[in-house]
Amino acid sequence: MADVNIKINGRDYTVPAGSTILEAARMAGIEIPTLCFLKEINEIGACRICVVKVKGARSLVAACVFPVNEGMEIFTNSPDVIEARKTTLKLILSNHKKECLSCVRSGSCELQKLCHDYGIDTETAFAGAKTKSFIDDSASHMYRDNEKCILCRRCVAVCEKNQGVGVIGANARGFDTHIGCAFEMPLGEVSCISCGQCITVCPTGAIAERDDTAKVVEAINDPAKHVIVQTAPAVRVGLGEEFGYEMGTVVTGKLVAALRALGFDKVFDTNFSADLTIMEEATEFLGRYTKKENLPLITSCSPGWIKFCETYYPEFIPNLSSCKSPQGMFGAVAKTYYAEKMGIDPKDIFVVSVMPCTAKKFEAERLDHTAVEGLADIDAVITVRELARMIKKAGILFNQLPDEEYDAPFGLGSGAGTIFGATGGVMEAALRTAYETLTGEELEKLEFCEVRGIEGIKEATYTIAGNEIRVAVTSGTANAKKLLEMIKSGEKTYDFIEVMACPGGCVNGGGQPIQPASVHNNVNIRAARAAGLYNDDKNLPVRKSHLNPDVKAIYAEYFGEPNSHKAHDILHTGYVKRPKY
């Protein structure tokens, strides 16, 4: 593509033709502020914060959608540009709930930062009528406070484009415009898949996860409760961002230390139950593959994906693995095997999950995911953000904590369990075990690079012990939709498929630390966090699920073998067709 010559604030630059002013300014080392813009997702020029002056233009233009051309002269910080942005901020604040001191997004709110940068406060905001608003807390995983909404439509765009769900949109018109569901139905009653991707892109506190930290604190302070906590693989590369660490930094040791400091009785690793999942799922796959029944087998680790399948593609329910997710398996063995081993009544065990995923809150409430009748497998789920708030509130100096190790018997996880947090990781972990099970030989090269990476759909064919196994990996339910449609049409045929609801997998889950649009637009967040998990895998002493000694022990002492009758009773589940609204 040819280059064009432009001027920005009086200086000469050469940039690729077709670039927007926003992109050209970034190349020149100038950050033009935005509120609605998300690269390749929401490029609508609606918020008017990114306006700039172009010589010869009759009015200010939106930098995010206005292309550069040869000889263009641009001014990003002229007095009229600054005044226009300040006026827009005042208008937004005039229709905004001003509870910044107690808002969950205080300190990470993009609107708050811009108001600080431009010297706008509640005293300078315009006074007047406010749009009638409401709080929708009907969903199990999140709430929406429309009084904090600035109508940027990022949530609408990510729900439609990345997830292919589109259950929210702009309702009404003019001053009455607000974000909601069709016919003003509560979010908890429509076909939302609980993925929380809308939360991660919201620039304010209009959307946030349901906060379950009070429930956890209450349990910790109840002497009658034995409170145990599990941490998902992607937590170790997400939590550090909340405390200033570089994106993708593995902070496992400090994570464990912080949880002990908070008062949990035992701190366990979901990597253990990820390995347990592989034992069950790989065995299930080999059984189906041998019998050629209900293929392709589709993974069941992502509850957002499961809800999507149950709602939009119920014809694929027979293809879903019957395995509970690693979170579900952990809760199940905690209330059965662990309770028996420790001599504790299961009703006195309170299981907390720290997850990068808001859909895990929904999963914990599923009545068909219980190992002990009358007891939930999981009692509370908190996101990485909720855990960070707990640590800060408790005054724990996270960065100064010495590294500590997980507790036994669920403290040892393999590298295969670690990579569950990245798209393709479940598939790779399963292939490591399936290969050695089928061949009886040691797998020398553990990396299945064809299923790695952040592409929306990946596919490969592996020949193992004379068997051709066709696999596919996809993340983001909009991509899952494309893949399932190709299977339905006969265009594609596979034996084993991994699906993650969130683009990039759990590293980009709806419960991970929120990054501003400036980071989303210029940094590959998914790749950076995934790289941390792959490095962790390389450095762990055990890298295959079937070689995890704690997993071997639980089969020897309790389950007998993978897919045994007892294992099915405790570690497996079923699914239901859900109405689509």
* Confidence (pLDDT) at 78: 96
Same domain, residue pair 389 and 489:
yes
Domain count for the chain = 3
* 23 within a domain of the structure (yes/no): yes
CB 533 within 8 Å of CB 507: yes
CATH number of 354's domain? 3.40.50.1780
pLDDT > 80? residue 573: yes
| 83 Cβ contact partners less than 8 Å away, ≥ 6 residues apart | none
Would you say residue 89 lies in a domain? Answer: no
Q: What is the DSSP string of 197-218?
A: HHHHH-SSSSEEEPP-HHHHHH
Instruction: For residues 187 and 221, state if they share a domain.
Output: no
- Three-state DSSP state, 360: helix
Mean pLDDT of the region 407-433: 95
Q: 307 pLDDT band (50/70/90 cuts)?
A: very high
Same domain (yes/no): 315, 414: yes
- The pLDDT tens digits of the residues spanning 288-304 come to 999 999 999 999 999 99
Query: Is residue 107 pLDDT above 80, yes or no?
Result: yes
Across the strands, what pairs with 142?
209
CATH number at residue 13: 3.10.20.740
CA angle 239, 242, 243 (to 5 degrees): 100
108-126 burial code (b ≥16 CB/10 A, e <16): bbbbbebbeebebeeeebe
For range 540-560, the mean pLDDT: 96
* pLDDT, position 129: 86
Rounded distance, CA 92 to CA 150, Å?
A: 7
Are 355 and 400 in the same domain?
A: yes
What pLDDT is stored for residue 408 in this prediction?
94
Does residue 83 fall inside a structural domain?
Answer: no
**576 lies in some domain:** no
Q: Once rounded to an integer, what is the mean pLDDT over residues 321-326?
A: 96
pTM for this prediction = 0.95
**Bridge partners, residue 171, by sequence:** 178
* Upstream peptide bond of 409 is cis (omega within 30 degrees of 0): yes
Residue type, 255: L
Q: What pLDDT, in 10s, does the model give residues 240-261?
A: 999 999 999 999 999 999 999 9
CATH number for the domain that contains residue 161: 3.30.70.20
**Are 170 and 227 found together in one domain?**
no
Residues 273 and 315 in one domain: yes
- Report whether pLDDT(236) > 90: yes
Q: Tell me, yes or no, whether 359 lies in a domain.
A: yes
Residues 354 and 377 in one domain: yes
Q: What is the pLDDT of residue 298?
A: 98
pLDDT band at 368 (very low <50, low <70, confident <90, very high): confident
Q: What is the average pLDDT across 328-343?
A: 97
Q: Shortest CA distance to 387 belongs to which of 408, 418, 356?
A: 356
> Where a domain ends, among 168, 186, 209?
209
Residue 515: what are its φ and ψ, rounded to 5°? -110, 145
CA angle 512, 515, 518 (to 5 degrees): 155
Dump pLDDT digits (tens) for 165-215.
999 999 999 999 999 999 999 999 999 999 999 999 999 999 999 999 999
Q: What is the average per-residue pLDDT within 466-481?
A: 96
In a domain, 16, yes or no: yes
Q: At what angle do helices 326-333 and 270-291 cross, to 10 degrees?
A: 110
Per-residue pLDDT, 263 = 98
Phi-psi region of 323 (alpha: psi -120 to 50; beta: other; left: phi over 0): beta
Rounded CA separation 560/557 (Å): 7
- At which of 173, 193, 209 does a domain end? 209
What local confidence, expressed as pLDDT, does residue 375 receive? Answer: 93
The CA distance from 335 to 349, in Å, is: 7
Asked if 139 contacts 189 with a C-beta cutoff of 8 angstroms, the reply is no
DSSP 271-322: HHHHHHHHHHHHHHHHHHHHHT-SPSEE----HHHHHHHHHH-GGGGGGB--
How large is the average pLDDT for residues 452-462?
Answer: 95
Residue 367 has pLDDT above 90, yes or no: no
Domain hosting 130: range is 103-115+123-209
Q: Note whether 388 and 467 are same-domain residues.
A: yes
Same domain, 174 and 319: no
- Quick one: 194 and 225 in the same domain? no
- Pair 183, 219 in one domain: no
**Does residue 314 form part of some domain?**
yes
Residues 58 and 134 in one domain: no
Beta strands in 106-240 (DSSP E): 135-136, 142-145, 169-171, 178-180, 207-209, 226-231
Q: Which pLDDT score, from 0 to 100, does residue 580 have?
A: 86
pLDDT at 1: 62
With 70 as the cut, is the pLDDT of residue 357 above it? Answer: yes
Amino acid at residue number 526? R
Q: Is residue 87 part of a domain?
A: no
Provide the pairing of β-strand 457-464 with 467-475: antiparallel
